[in-house]
């Protein structure tokens, strides 16, 4: 049966060429969308490295364009005043909160001639780990024990540790800013976390480092307050929180947002491109389906005498139906095989990096194959049914 179908396909290769190209185009479109979605699904299942539940952020708007430097007393007054609220169970400070669009990067290296490691950085205080539920895999978090340290203490994630210190224990190691940062400043690793993805579930894993902030000892300030509130705290707390902040510093403005809201906005922002691409791909797929259906209809009509002859020599209606559908499946298989040969070059060459790893490629290939075979089946059903219902006498007299 397979050899017979292959011969029939080859004899009509000029007609089948356009069908195969249409199927190949549809497969490429579906593969692109499926790979996009599969990567998002893969990222969503990865651990974040922090717990955003019952956490709020407060952005300080001092109106000085960042020129004013806060001393340790400012941070201490804010911490003490906020902890007096019964709804607040933890207070920490950071350069920016999780799910923010902010990014600060630098290229770090162990020494002057060592390769650079591109790293995302954030300045935080000693209390952030407790507020966000960050768990250490090795070493410890910052503490007052680090006051006066010659090297600036940092906590890095596992990915950076493996890139910076391959095959070695990262805790206790030191590195410098490879971009020529502040001369004479080195960084000492005191702890390692398994993972931290500050921008949320759809962010790809990156090298990440927490820099310890010590008021009055660093060049700038950190102006985001991260609050851990008690479970069940509602948005009504925002008014009371703002009143307390105004009592502490009446000359400042404060932007208060639960991390759950920031998370929702971030997921919506990241998912919008996937939705738009899916809509465009669906429209293109419908157009391809119409073209495929029309081509199959025309081919079936042109083969009416052939079908009539087969019916006259004893072929059943079910056999005719099956032949039409299987021929279409064979064309689809040829187009899919060619598409896979072309697309497999992407993970092999690594041109798209981790975005198209082998897990994503396999998932996208399986999904795409399923969609194309389903599309082929739907497009072949009516032409096959019409061909199977032809009367041998009518078909043999067809002109």
Concatenating the DSSP letter of every residue in 279-292 gives HHHHHHHHHHHHHH
299-356 pLDDT per residue, tens:
666 565 566 656 566 556 566 667 777 777 778 888 899 999 999 999 999 888 889 9
Q: How confident is the model at residue 2 (pLDDT cuts 50, 70, 90)?
A: very low
Domain count, the chain: 2
Cα 32–Cα 33–Cα 36 angle in degrees, nearest 5? 90
Residues 182 and 202 reside in one and the same domain: yes
Examine the domain organization and report whether 294 and 382 are in the same domain. yes
pLDDT recorded at residue 10: 45
Same domain, 6 and 132: no
Check whether residue 217 and residue 176 sit in a common domain. yes
The structure tokens 């298989």 sit at 333
Q: Does residue 284 sit in the same domain as residue 359?
A: yes
Mean pLDDT, to the nearest integer, of 115-144?
A: 93
Same domain membership, residue 331 and residue 310: yes
Residue % of the chain over a pLDDT of 70: 81
**pTM of model > 0.95:** no
Residue 367 domain-assigned (yes or no): yes
Q: Are residues 309 and 332 in the same domain?
A: yes
| Residue 137 sits in the same domain as residue 163 | yes
Instruction: Let me know whether 279 and 359 are in one domain.
Output: yes
Q: Does the residue 223 lie in any domain? A: yes
Give residue 239's pLDDT: 92
Name which of 21-25, 68-72, 180-184 the model is least confident about: 180-184
**Would the pLDDT of 298 be above 70?**
no
Same domain, 275 and 339: yes
User: 229 near 89, Cβ under 8 Å?
Assistant: yes
Residue pLDDT, tens place only, 41-78: 999 999 999 999 999 999 999 877 767 788 888 899 99
Evaluate whether 98 touches 64 at the Cβ level (below 8 Å). no
pLDDT tier at 183, thresholds 50, 70, 90: low
169 and 138 Cβ atoms separated by less than 8 Å = yes
Please tell me the predicted confidence (pLDDT) of residue 185: 79
Please indicate, yes or no, whether residues 156 and 281 belong to a single structural domain of this protein.
Answer: no
* Selected residue with higher pLDDT from 219 and 311: 219
The whole domain housing 184 covers 55-230
148 and 36 part of one domain: no
């Amino acid at each position: 049966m397979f050899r017979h179908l292959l011969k029939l396909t080859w004899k009509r290769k000029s007609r089948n060429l356009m069908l195969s190209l249409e199927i190949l185009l549809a497969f490429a479109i579906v593969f692109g969308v499926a790979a996009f979605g599969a990567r998002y699904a893969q990222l969503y299942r990865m651990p974040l490295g922090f717990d955003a539940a019952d956490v709020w952020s407060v952005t300080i708007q001092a109106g000085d364009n960042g020129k004013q430097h806060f001393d340790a007393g400012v941070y201490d007054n804010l911490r003490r005043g906020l902890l007096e609220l019964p709804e607040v169970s933890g207070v920490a400070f950071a350069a920016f909160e999780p799910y923010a669009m902010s990014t600060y990067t630098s290229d770090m290296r162990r020494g002057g001639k060592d390769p650079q490691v591109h790293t995302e950085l954030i300045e935080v205080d000693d209390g952030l780990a407790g507020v966000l539920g960050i768990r250490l895999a090795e070493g410890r978090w910052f503490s007052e024990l680090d006051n006066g340290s010659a090297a600036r203490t940092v906590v890095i994630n596992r990915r950076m540790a493996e890139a910076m210190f391959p095959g070695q224990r990262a805790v206790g190691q030191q590195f410098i800013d490879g971009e020529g940062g502040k001369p004479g400043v080195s960084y000492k690793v005191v702890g390692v976390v398994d993972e931290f993805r500050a921008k949320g579930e759809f962010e790809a894993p990156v090298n990440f480092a927490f820099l310890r902030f010590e008021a009055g000892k660093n060049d700038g300030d950190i102006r985001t307050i991260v609050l851990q509130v008690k479970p069940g705290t509602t948005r009504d707390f925002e008014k009371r929180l703002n009143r307390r902040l105004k009592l502490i510093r009446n000359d400042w403005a404060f932007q208060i947002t639960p991390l759950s809201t920031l998370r929702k906005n971030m997921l919506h922002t990241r998912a919008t491109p996937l939705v738009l691409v899916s809509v465009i791909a669906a429209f293109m797929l419908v157009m391809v389906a119409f073209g495929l259906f029309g081509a199959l209809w025309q081919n079936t009509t042109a083969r009416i005498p052939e079908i009539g002859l087969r019916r006259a020599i004893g072929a059943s209606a079910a056999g005719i139906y099956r032949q039409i559908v299987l021929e279409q499946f064979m064309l689809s298989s040829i187009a899919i095989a060619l598409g896979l040969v072309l697309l497999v070059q992407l993970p092999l060459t690594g041109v798209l990096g981790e975005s198209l790893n082998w897990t994503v490629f396999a998932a996208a290939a399986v999904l795409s194959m399923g969609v194309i075979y389903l599309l082929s089946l739907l497009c072949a059903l009516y032409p096959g049914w019409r061909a199977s219902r032809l009367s041998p006498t009518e078909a043999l007299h067809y002109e």
